[in-house]
Structure 1
Amino acid sequence: MFRSRLVLMITDISGSHIVNINIFFKRIALYLVLLVLMLIVFAFVSIGVFRSEIQNIAQSNLELVEEYEKLTKKNAALNQKMNQRIEEFELVGDRVEYLEGMIGVASNAEDNKNAENGLQERLDKASLAGAQKIFFMKFIPNGYPIDYYRRISDVFGYRIHPILKSRHLHSGIDFSAEVGTPVYATADGVVEFAYKGFNGGYGHMIKIDHSFGFKTYYAHLDQLIVKRGDFVKKGQMIAYSGNSGNSTGAHLHYEIRFLGAYIDPKNFIQWNIRDFDSIFEKEKKIPWQSLLITTRTMMEQMAQPSLQVELK
């Protein structure tokens, strides 16, 4: 009986008291202690699990942050490329506008609003018009036959000849230049005449036969580079300027003739693709409309596949 009971002695100022407690209460106390211990262990385990979950969440958050930074960098790179494409597109638009101005094609404001389609259409129009004009100017004399000269010493028209002392038509333009200055063909053609000699006062001279009835004369030369029968391209060097023939000083005498008639070279040397239409107003002696139609027809024929196969 004694072992199944718990005896407690309580002492205070009034004396000592003995209290006997049943072992049942002792077990309850033990269970409470065990429960508390279990709760503590559970709390530690839960804290460990929560900590692991927090770490996993933190790791996932870091991965999301890294992915976000990658996407941000990628987006920035794409924006940069897009801005670059926009700048390139605007630059192309500016170049097309410049090309349109060069060849005299008016841009359509409505087309300009339709970014890509408008630009493509403008490119097609500019390319077509530009090709026609380049083709036209390739075969008809234009531009200067000499790059370096001191001055234009005489112009086209009637004058008192400096040697013959009589009124005489000066049939070309004289470019005062040092002996040995390069001289260039002003259009594609075939060398009809290339001879050193007096040549009726022209001195060493070259004649080039161009398309559509045009011819150019280059006189008072020093050295000839081409010979009769040679095909020459616009801008090709053909000779060096000199002081041969009836000449009072080193210069290049340059003439343009159309169907044998003298033409003032002034308008032709100033003619360029940017001011393409100017020649039609300045030079009225030439049937320009007929020439334009002829060159357009030639381009259309050259563009036909059957003709290209035959040419091959």
Structure 2
Amino acid sequence: MLQKKLLITLTTARGSRQYTLGQLARYLLALFLVMAVCSFFVSNLLLVQTSDELEDLEQGINSLSSQYEMTLGTQEIQKGQLDQLSHTLQELKVERDQLQEENLRIGELNDTLDASLYGLEDLLGLPPSEDMTSGRADELTVMTNQRLFFLSIMPNGEPIQGLRINDHFGMRMHPVRKKRVMHNGIDYKANIGTPVYATADGAVEYAGYNKSSGFGNLIILQHGLGFKTYYAHLSKLKVKSGSYVSKGQLIGLSGNTGTSTGPHLHYEVRHLYRAIDPEPFVAWNIGNFDSLFSNVKGVKWASLQKLYPLNQALQTAQQ
């Protein structure tokens, strides 16, 4: 009986050689080949599986990287939004502080305005209001403007800062003629060169030396509503005929020209060429505004009601 042997032939450049393996060796070789083949297929399978897992892992890494980048971008956006919000809040805080300061200033201004309006009521000679409303403030504004208008176009206040009044309006013994005559104005004792001022806005009707009247250097001013004022015995004239003057403007200097026994200013107020006692006009101001219409009887004040809402005293005086 022949034994089964495995014959292996190796051929080289020098020739061929044969080797014989026994049955066990054959089994081991066959087992090795089978295991090698299995290992090859298992390795390929594991390699494919590992490759798939690596690809999945790479995709996961890429996805995580994208998410990370998105997260970073979102954080940057959120950081920018937070910075903007912080800046906006800071601006709002500044505006709030400014508004608070402005409110304080407005409150102080309102208090000052209320105090001024109450003071204006006192200045106008009106009883104080219980509540200073906007309507009352408007009423006071209108009333003030009306009074200031009339005080600018009608004679009021003193024309000179004289030492005293020597002679008043009315009948008197003339110091030169030595007989009783009508004195149409008031005489202010004043040193030569004392400034003389216009008592209302107006136009210069006359400025020069008037010999016939005895007034010497004389200025006559035309004012509104038919009023005129005379300034006599001046040492110097500061305005010319035909020019315009405003209330309080320097128009001349007191003197002793014309028929005069000493330095003084002779001051007259006339309405439609008729002389009126100047003293109520000298005392007239914004606080006692309505008093003039009651104290001066020679003027038809009732017709002024169309221009100005006069007080009840005026209406009663004209009835």
Partner of 1:100: 121
CA 278–75 in structure 1, closer or farther in 2 if over 3 Å, else same: same
Partner of 2:200: 187
Partners of 2:193 and 2:292 lie apart in 1 by 31
CA 234–77 in structure 1, closer or farther in 2 if over 3 Å, else same: closer
Does 1:143 pair with 2:157?
A: yes
Partner of 1:127: 141
Partners of 1:207 and 1:75 lie apart in 2 by 62
CA 253–214 in structure 1, closer or farther in 2 if over 3 Å, else same: same
CA RMSD of aligned residues (A): 2.6
Residue among 277, 282, 302 paired with 1:289: 302
Q: What amino acid sits opposite 1:122 in the alignment? A: R
Q: How does 1:245-260 map to 2 (within 5 A)?
A: 245-260=258-273
What is the CA distance between 1:105 and its match in structure 2?
4.7
Partners of 1:209 and 1:256 lie apart in 2 by 10
State the percentage of identical aligned residues. 44
What is the CA distance between 1:121 and its match in structure 2?
2.1
Partners of 2:105 and 2:293 lie apart in 1 by 43
Partners of 1:283 and 1:257 lie apart in 2 by 12
What is the CA distance between 1:155 and its match in structure 2?
0.7
Q: What amino acid sits opposite 2:118 in the alignment? A: E
The number of residues matched between the two structures is: 221
What is the CA distance between 1:294 and its match in structure 2?
3.5
Residue among 85, 110, 114 paired with 1:89: 110
Partners of 1:260 and 1:249 lie apart in 2 by 27
**Structure 1 length-normalised TM:** 0.64
Residue among 198, 201, 205 paired with 2:214: 201
Partners of 2:308 and 2:237 lie apart in 1 by 31
Say whether the 8 Å CA contact 1:105–1:129 is kept in structure 2: no
Q: How does 1:191-270 map to 2 (within 5 A)?
A: 191-270=204-283
Rg larger for? 2
Partners of 2:205 and 2:98 lie apart in 1 by 63
What is the CA distance between 1:129 and its match in structure 2?
0.9
What is the CA distance between 1:235 and its match in structure 2?
1.0
Q: Could you tell me which runs of 5 or more consecutive residues in structure 1 were left unpaired when the two chains were aligned.
A: 1-71, 113-117, 297-312
What is the CA distance between 1:85 and its match in structure 2?
4.0
Say whether the 8 Å CA contact 1:256–1:265 is kept in structure 2: yes
Partners of 2:236 and 2:276 lie apart in 1 by 26
Say whether the 8 Å CA contact 2:269–2:275 is kept in structure 1: yes
Q: What amino acid sits opposite 1:158 in the alignment? A: M
Say whether the 8 Å CA contact 2:234–2:257 is kept in structure 1: yes
**Structure 2 length-normalised TM:** 0.63
Partners of 1:229 and 1:208 lie apart in 2 by 10
Does 1:177 pair with 2:198?
A: no
Say whether the 8 Å CA contact 1:185–1:236 is kept in structure 2: yes
Q: Could you tell me which runs of 5 or more consecutive residues in structure 2 were left unpaired when the two chains were aligned.
A: 1-92, 310-319
Say whether the 8 Å CA contact 1:107–1:122 is kept in structure 2: no
Partners of 2:151 and 2:302 lie apart in 1 by 14
- 3-state DSSP class of the match of 1:200? coil
What is the CA distance between 1:106 and its match in structure 2?
4.6
